[in-house]
Amino acid sequence: MTRNKAIAAYLIGLPALGGVFGLLSYVAYRLINGNDSIFVFVMMMAVWGGFGIVVGGYGAFQTIRTEKKINEFRSKGGK
């Protein structure tokens, strides 16, 4: 996977996945507890979406950092 694809997967895919998981958590919560306020929906989306953003940002940062180390290693002739 190229660098741009990996970063796109981290910065777009993981927050979207966090949002979907937040929506599924809200649906499960609503099935168990019945009707509730919109505040619960907003909090579920904010928590899981925020978690996806944090994990995606960390993954993108690690990808960039690892690529820099690989490039440094290659420029030294692999020694």
Residue 21 CB partners (closer than 8 Å, separation 6+): 48, 52
Q: pTM value?
A: 0.76
- What is the token pair recorded at 73? 């290693």
The letter for the amino acid at 63 is: T
What is the rounded CA–CA span in Å between residue 70 and residue 61?
14
pLDDT tens digits for 3-51? 788 888 889 999 999 999 999 999 999 899 888 888 989 999 999 999 9
- CA dihedral (30, 38, 53, 20) positive or negative: positive
Q: Could you say which DSSP state residue 77 is in? A: T
